[in-house]
């Protein structure tokens, strides 16, 4: 075995993974929602100067939500392919369970965010009071997020 050939095969795997992530972003409204939420969490984390441990908890939680959304999409696509002409209750159950796994992790993510940011909520609100331009920035962020989630790839959405 040639090491160069093996390295190229290895790197090709990353290209396939990136292709899957991009497809998930383009076709899954929920994935775009999660990315927008992750951006909001990152901004608030910077504003609040969270600790290293809190950053790691947020990163793992956000990464887990997005990874599960990719797995959910893969399961939905595989089930749709396998049952194209004959929908079944088992196929529906598989898709519902995969979506439920994402929901469970999202609920856990909300609890992590509440724990990290809950004690800092007054500080966050104070930032908006002290710097009113942050209100404009937040409104613009949420408007762009809404556009990206619900309007940008509407013709590509599988959900």
Chain centroid offset of residue 75 CA: 17
Numbered residues of the known binding site: 16, 69, 76, 95-96
Helix (H, G, I), strand (E, B), or coil: what is residue 119? helix
Query: Can you say which residues are annotated as belonging to the binding site for substrate?
Result: 69
Binding site membership for ATP: which residues? 16, 76, 95-96
> Which parts are annotated binding residues for a divalent metal cation?
76
69 is catalytic: yes
Q: Hey, is 122 helix, strand or coil?
A: helix
Task: Report how far residue 93's alpha carbon sits from residue 91's, in angstroms, rounded to the nearest whole number.
Answer: 5
Among residues 6, 54, 69, 155, the one annotated as catalytic is 69
Residue 37 sits at the vertex; the CA angle it makes with 34 and 39, to the nearest 5 degrees, is 115
Give which of 147, 154, 144 is closest to 39, Cα–Cα: 144
DSSP alpha helices (H): ranges in 28-51?
29-48
Three-point CA angle 148, 142, 48, nearest 5°: 125
Catalytic site residues?
69
């Amino acid at each position: 075995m040639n090491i160069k050939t093996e390295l190229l095969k290895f790197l090709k795997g990353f290209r396939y993974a990136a292709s899957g992530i991009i497809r998930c972003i383009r076709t899954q409204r929920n994935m775009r929602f999660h990315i927008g939420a992750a951006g909001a969490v990152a901004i608030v984390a910077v504003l609040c100067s969270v600790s290293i441990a809190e950053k790691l908890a947020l990163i793992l939680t956000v990464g887990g939500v997005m990874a599960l959304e990719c797995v959910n999409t893969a399961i939905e696509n595989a089930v749709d392919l396998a049952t194209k002409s004959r929908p079944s209750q088992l196929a529906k159950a598989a898709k519902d369970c995969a979506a439920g796994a994402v929901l469970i992790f999202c609920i856990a993510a909300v609890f992590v965010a509440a724990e990290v940011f809950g004690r800092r909520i007054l500080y966050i609100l104070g930032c908006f009071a002290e710097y009113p331009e942050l209100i404009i920035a937040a409104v613009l962020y949420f408007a762009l997020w809404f556009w990206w989630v619900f309007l940008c790839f509407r013709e590509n959405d599988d959900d």
